[in-house]
Structure 1
Amino acid sequence: MDLKDQLKNLFPNHKEDSAEVSEDSNNDLWLQDAPIICKYEKRKGKPITILEGYTGATEDFKKLAKELKTKLSVGGSFKDDKIIIQGDYRDKIMTMLKEKGFNVKRVGG
């Protein structure tokens, strides 16, 4: 008996569809024609990656920021319609966004 069977015995009324719905909601981001700009800067001697140029809803951009931060296991923030990620993760971020269907343009270095 594996863990899923044990959980089904303990919680017979629990629906497993809720996890699948949350994953599908991340794919509902509004795709745009203009590319998202991925920049690299140094602030106070530390590298950061900046994403800007998203023309959809700010809530979607915040969801995208949270997803990127959790997948990369790094800190960051969302300010002034820009996603700021701590560290130089341009290549990884660009591949993630391309898999989602976004056009990404690399700027600088």
Structure 2
Amino acid sequence: MDLQDQLKNLFPEHIHEEPENSSEATNGLWIQDDPLLCKYEKRKGKPITIIDGYTGATEDFKALAKELKTTLSVGGSYKDDKIIIQGDYRDKIMAILKSKGFHVKRVGG
């Protein structure tokens, strides 16, 4: 008897609802009409990528920052409504954001 069967015995009137197959990241984030700006800079001689221009909720942008950092396996931070990623990952970031439905504009070099 597995855990699901035990729970059914304990709570027979409970109806288990399966989550939808659509991805949480796309449904949870607000897709805006204006493009996100993907910039490249050097700070203290090291390259960084900055994503700016999101007009949705701060929590959504922080979740997007975390997802980008884990997908690319790089460090970064969220400051002043900007996502700062260590390294030059503009092309990969733009591909990830476009697959989520965002409009992305490349700024600089």
Distance 2:26 2:82 in 1: 20
* C-alpha RMSD of the superposition: 2.1
Larger radius of gyration: 2
Other-structure match for 1:6: none
| Amino-acid identity (%) | 71
Q: Please identify runs of 4+ aligned residues in structure 1 that moved more than 2 A.
A: 11-15
CA deviation after TM superposition for structure 1 residue 25, in Å: 2.3
> How many angstroms does 1:46 deviate by?
0.3
Partner of 1:54: 54
In the TM superposition, 1:1-40 aligns within 5 A as 12-13=3-4, 24-28=23-27, 29-40=29-40
1:27 Cα deviation from its structure 2 partner = 1.5
Q: TM-score, normalised by structure 1?
A: 0.81
Structure 2-normalised TM-score? 0.81
Mind listing any 5+ residue stretches in structure 1 that lack a counterpart? Answer: 1-8
Look up the match of 1:96. Answer: 96
- Superposition deviation, residue 24 in structure 1: 2.8
Secondary structure at the counterpart of residue 95 of structure 2: helix
Give 1 or 2: higher helix fraction.
1
What is the aligned residue count? 97
The CA deviation at 1:106 is: 0.2
Q: Tell me, in whole angstroms, the C-alpha distance in 2 between the residues paired with 1:25 and 1:90.
A: 24
Q: What does the per-residue CA deviation read over 1:45-99, in whole Å, with 9 as the maximum and x for residues that have no partner? A: 0000000000000000000000000000000000000000000000000000000
